[in-house]
Amino acid sequence: MRSWSNLFITGLLCSFLSACGGSGSDSPASPAPTNPSTPPSISIQGPETAVVGDSVDFVVAAPVNRRISTISWQVTGLTQQPLASHTQAIGFDVPSSGDYTIDVQATLDNGVELTDSMQLSVSEDTSPIATVRLGHETSEGGRVSLRVDLKRHGELSVANIQWRQVGGPAANAIDFDDGAFSYNIFFQAPRVTTDSIIDIEATITLSNGQQVSDVAQVLVKDIAMDANGFFVNDDGGTLETVSSHMQPYRADSPYANALSQCVYNNTVDESCRFSTLPLIGQVTENPTIDDILDRTYVSHPWMGDAFKQFLETSDSQGDMLDLLRATTAVVISYEVRPSFYWVATGAIYLDANNFWRTPEERDTLNTRPDYRSNFGNDLNFTTTWRYVKDGAYYFPILTSFNAADRLPRTNNEVEAALTWLLYHELAHANDFFDYTEWASLSSSESPLSAYNDAAPISTGLTSALPLTSAELHALADVRYGGVDPTSTQRTYTARQVADWFEEDGAVSFYSYFTEREDIATLFERFMMLYRLNVDSDVGVFTQEAIDNGTTALTWGQRNRVNDDKVKQRINYAVTRIFPHLNVPEIQNNLPSPLLLPEGVRWRDTASFGTQSANSNSANGTLVSGFVEDGSVSDVPANLSTQHRNGKTISVAEEFDAVKFHKKR
């Protein structure tokens, strides 16, 4: 990673650039001070001109000493309105030439309503070579990501990309992609005392020496927060918060106020009682899709639309409705990464990257990498997993959806991204609150107090049928918990690791991280095979095979979920979550486990043992399909370390650490 200071360069005059300021603004960083007797006003900040294909953004800051409580935008001339029209910043690609009218209406926290309007004139010209996406709103302390999308431009390639901040309060803790230059940047929004605008510019140098640039605006919102809140991490340095524009997917839901109060904000600091937000299973044993959507809380309305579409069309529909009974809410947000379940609220938190269907939806997402991406880099082996069906990849999807190519995803591709994830996260919810408890939970209890009074299913699994490899348990702390490896662990070979794993009873290396992950992976992989006829593969590689790009397999197995060493543990886990399933009978009809051929490239083993060829002919550029085992986590990044009552607790060490939260 490069430091931010190395990327501050002397400003280039617009006349020397092929494109400039498509989404930029030369506006002040924050509203100018006003005379107390002057009526408050708002002013749209954004470009007045653009060319067809530009990505443009417009922002509105609240007047000094006020906050905007609700806002709505209307862009006359657009067929599809911007997907973030409920926030103080909108961004979109200009589809055609002509004049566009940008209207905004905002309500302040004191009830005063304000409006503003401006014109955008769009001309037919050379389509911009590069754009920075996407200008948006964030909370102070919120996660920000921006990217450069480079359009295909003949034989030219990118020689360099330089980022710099050209306006607003200084952003800090800037991270970049690995490599000689970065198409993406990530940072935490700074603290502010009034709404402020950060302008970030990217200057791209092409292989012929030509330079192009673009600017994106990020509206940093001054928010109310509790330093002791569940979702606020304030160590005196970098502040971390969550989105302030979350909203119930259904505004008329009877639980709308409870969702806003209890599950995902910057002030909640206690577990809400079931009298305020009960588990779905406390209310009904047979929830409908409408019941689930009434408990859905989103950062952007399209995410609820996509979730609704999944629930209506998925082959897993019945399972998901039953599993969701163990939750209080479903939270889907652009900044959740990775997905997790949290017993303090009883809700599941889903990375919206799994839901996007169109390029415009994808533009609204935060792309900051999983915070564990570099854990265990000093180890001499790597593990991976995947799902395959009919001899072809099911998940991960082999098509590389380069954001700049503006490709949509099919319903099947969205379902592939969601089914395994939901089976996994909802297994956690049912681990903590299984069907035997719902009727007996008192309305005066909270998810956290109820959890503290009972033992999860996974604790019983560990007592009755434990995983036995001490080496793999310790290695999981390195790979998924960030513990520094010992000198001995650095010498472990891929073959040693494979032998330990093959003789034990786990279906995934992630199972060794905590007993909670153990039961979730058992349930997830069984249900994917039983319900969807999707096979699961697990593999072990030398680090050399990864570094040289061969991905030659040291050891791999398909459908380990039906291995004799695992069957009894599967039966224990699944029957306690889904007692209506006759697991032993089902196991008798599932495919037997299959060892994959050693020394063969990982991707080439997908069709092993099947009559059909491994079809990799989807639109776009193929990628390796290599996924590091444990790429799904159940610990939110800004909860990885929490400070309470003078004690620092790493939630990533063990999910039981949620007990540190104040019991009220």
Q: What is the pLDDT of residues 433-463, one digit of tens each?
A: 999 999 999 999 999 999 988 899 999 999 9
Beta bridge partners of 222: none
Q: 352 by DSSP, 3-state: which?
A: helix
Q: How do beta strands 555-558 and 535-542 pair?
A: antiparallel
Of 320, 348, 359, give the one whose Cα is nearest residue 55.
359
Cα 438 from chain centre: 29
Alpha-carbon dihedral 177, 182, 186, 187, rounded to 10 degrees: 110
Report how far Cα 662 is from the mean position of its chain's Cα atoms.
27
DSSP letter (8 states) at residue 4: G
Residue 648 has pLDDT above 50, yes or no: no
Question: How many angstroms separate the CA atoms of 131 and 129, rounded?
Answer: 7
Contact 352/303 with Cβ under 8 angstroms? yes
Q: Which of 269, 268, 217, 276 is nearest to 246 (CA)?
A: 268
Q: Model confidence over 536-562: pLDDT tens digits?
A: 999 999 999 999 999 999 999 999 999
Residue 399's pLDDT is 67
Q: Work out the average pLDDT over 69-93.
A: 96
Q: Report the Cα 11 to chain-centroid distance in Å.
A: 34
Chain segment 559-612, per-residue pLDDT in tens? 999 999 999 999 999 999 999 999 999 999 999 999 999 999 999 999 998 754
Confidence tier at 494 by pLDDT (50, 70, 90):
very high
Handedness of CA 486, 490, 494, 499 (dihedral sign): negative
Q: How far apart are CA 447 and CA 460, in angstroms?
A: 20
pLDDT digits (tens, 9 = 90+) for 141-195: 999 999 999 876 677 788 899 999 999 999 977 787 766 688 999 999 999 999 9
Spatial neighbors of 261 by CB under 8 A, at least 6 apart, are 268, 272, 276, 277
215-241 pLDDT, tens digit each = 999 999 999 999 999 999 987 677 899
- Is the pLDDT reported for residue 251 higher than 80? yes
Q: What is the rounded CA–CA span in Å between residue 577 and residue 516?
A: 13
Read off the pLDDT of each residue in 103-116 and give the average, rounded to a whole number. Answer: 96
- Among 163-167, 407-411, 578-582, 613-617, the range of highest mean pLDDT: 578-582
Strand, coil or helix: 86: coil
| Structural domains for the chain | 4-221 (2.60.40.10), 233-238+246-372+636-660 (no CATH), 381-622 (no CATH)
Residue with token string 């072990």: 540
Q: Where are the beta strands (DSSP E) in 390-505?
A: 392-395, 399-400
Identify the sign of the CA torsion 579, 584, 586, 591. Answer: positive
What does the pLDDT look like over 483-492, one tens digit per residue? 999 999 999 9
C-alpha–C-alpha distance, residues 398 and 619, integer Å: 10
| Amino acid 301: pLDDT | 98
- Which pTM does this prediction carry? 0.88
The confidence score (pLDDT) of residue 589 equals: 96
pLDDT at 1 over 90: no
Beta sheet of 98-108, edge-to-edge order: 49-51, 113-123, 98-108, 68-76
Contact 563/593 with Cβ under 8 angstroms? yes
Q: Which amino acid is at 416?
A: A
Q: What pLDDT, on a 0 to 100 scale, did the predictor assign at position 632?
A: 40
Output 234 or 107, whichever has higher pLDDT: 107
Is the model's pLDDT at 265 over the cut of 50? yes
Spatial distance between the Cα atoms of 210 and 203, rounded to a whole number of angstroms: 10
Output the pLDDT for position 570.
Answer: 98
Q: 273 - beta bridge partners?
A: none
Q: Three-state DSSP class for 285?
A: coil
Nearest-Å Rg of the Cα atoms of the chain is 25
- The CA distance from 661 to 377, in Å, is 32
pLDDT at 211 over 50: yes
Residue 324: C-alpha distances to residues 230, 292, 350, 411 (Å) = 23, 8, 13, 21
**pLDDT tens-place string over residues 121-137:** 999 987 788 899 999 99
Describe the strand order of the beta sheet including 196-206 as a list of residue ranges: 136-139, 211-221, 196-206, 158-167
Interatomic CA distance for residues 330 and 280, integer angstroms: 11
Residue 146 dihedral angles phi and psi, to the nearest 5°: -135, 150
pLDDT bin (cut points 50, 70, 90) of residue 14 is very low
Please give the pLDDT value at position 370.
Answer: 74
Contact 326, 348 (CB under 8 A): no
The pLDDT, as a whole number, for residue 626 is 55
Q: Cis before residue 461, ω within 30 degrees of 0? A: no
* pLDDT at residue 613 is higher than 60: no
Residue 271 to residues 18, 281, 350, 661, Cα–Cα distance (Å): 54, 18, 19, 9
End-to-end C-alpha distance for the chain, whole angstroms? 43
If one counts every other C-beta atom within 10 angstroms of the C-beta of residue 646, the result is: 5
In 3-state terms, what secondary structure has residue 105? strand
Strand partners, 68: 108
**Residue 368: predicted pLDDT:** 85
Is the pLDDT confidence value at 101 over 70?
yes
Q: Please give the mean pLDDT across all residues of the chain.
A: 86
Which secondary structure element, helix H or strand E, spans residue 102, and what is its range? strand 98-108
